[in-house]
Structure 1
Amino acid sequence: MKIKISKLAELRYCKILIVDDSRAFREKIRYVLNDAEIGYYYYEAVDGRDGVSQYVNYEPDIVIMDIMMPNVDGIKAIKTIINYDPNARIIVASTRENKELVEDAINGGAKDFIIKPFQPGAIVMAVTKQFVSKNNQAKKECKFKEPLPTIHIDKPLLYKGTYHGHVVNIDKSGRFELSANTDQKTKELLKKAVDIQEMGKHYEIIL
């Protein structure tokens, strides 16, 4: 059994832009998402300047952005993209974790923040969450289309490790539903207690 919620099949055709100066990291992201059957069009950029240019040219559904890059860093690139498209869905992936950096990224317009190194499921969850949220927002104006499962959360998530699965629903109390690739994994996930903490402008989630 692949994806338990058939509506999430739309994830297979989303466009994803990966902005990172590490080729190995970009390849890892593509491998993880392709294995999870997420994304059909992948675009890559080696720095913030290239990332902004590719966003304007291809208008991807999701952006995965590093912070420390040559020429134009991730924070500046995020602000530029958000200025061009206020509804852009940007996920930051960085080896640096400090309050100021997280707040700078979020204030700039980032939707979620992932700490490197991470388990594959963290990227899967973050991309799924943002894709579902973006599609629900876009479909509000079209009464003939049924929206994807609604994500009820008012702040970005900072992921610090997770099991492989798709986010189906999150509420403000921190509870969320996952759909895993096998029935056994689903049972295992249901047994895990979620530790989600209020961290000012974001939630910190640990599985």
Structure 2
Amino acid sequence: MPNLLIVDDAKFMRMTLKNMLNNSIYNIVGEAENGEEAIEQYRSLQPDLVTMDITMPVMDGLSAAKAILGEFPDAKIIMCSAMGQQQMVIEAIEAGAKDFIVKPFDGGRVIDSINRVCKM
């Protein structure tokens, strides 16, 4: 069962993702609400996949993704963005993120993306 780390500063968005994945084959091992927490959680949990929000306080998702990928080149990160953040999504993909999902989340799209990235 693949382990997931969910990173988003909005508790509501973390809950939304957890609820979408509740009856799936994924195990949510941790949550973080900013980039610094995401890096710490990644180091301690070594999840199979991370969903990473782009816009967060303390440290944004793009910086956190770059830091995680710098330390763990095989990390699988899916960026989560609101409309209008295309440039940051492109930067994240160039930095090594595997995919992106757009908010508001579409349950089918989220599961498809996670399934696809986990098989990479």
The 8 Å contact of residues 15 and 61 in structure 1, kept in 2 or not, is answered as yes
Q: Which has the higher helix share?
A: 2
SS at match of 2:58: coil
Aligned positions of 1:194-205 closer than 5 A: none
1:102 to 54, 72, 89: 89
Provide the residue aligned with 2:104 in structure 1: 117
Spell out, residue by residue over 1:94-142, the C-alpha distance to the aligned partner (whole angstroms, 9 max, x if none): 1143442221111221110111112101110111001111xxxxxxxxx
1:32 correspondence with 2:23: no
Provide the residue aligned with 2:115 in structure 1: 128
2:60 to 51, 73, 90: 73
Larger radius of gyration: 1
2-structure distance, mates of 1:121, 1:82: 27
| Superposition CA RMSD, Å | 1.2
Provide the residue aligned with 1:93 in structure 2: 80
2-structure distance, mates of 1:69, 1:43: 17
SS at match of 1:44: strand
SS at match of 1:64: strand
Amino acid at match of 1:104: E
Provide the residue aligned with 1:82 in structure 2: 69
Q: State TM-score, norm by structure 1.
A: 0.56
Identify the structure with bigger relative contact order (alpha carbons < 8 Å, sequence gap 6+). 2
1-structure distance, mates of 2:56, 2:85: 17
2-structure distance, mates of 1:104, 1:98: 10
Spell out, residue by residue over 1:74-103, the C-alpha distance to the aligned partner (whole angstroms, 9 max, x if none): 010000000111111000011143442221
Provide the residue aligned with 2:50 in structure 1: 63
How many residues are matched? 120
| Structure 1 unaligned regions, length at least 5 | 1-12, 134-207
Identify if the C-alpha distance between structure 1 residues 47 and 31 changes in structure 2 by more than 3 Å, giving closer, same or farther. same
1:16 positional shift: 0.2
Identify if the C-alpha distance between structure 1 residues 69 and 121 changes in structure 2 by more than 3 Å, giving closer, same or farther. same
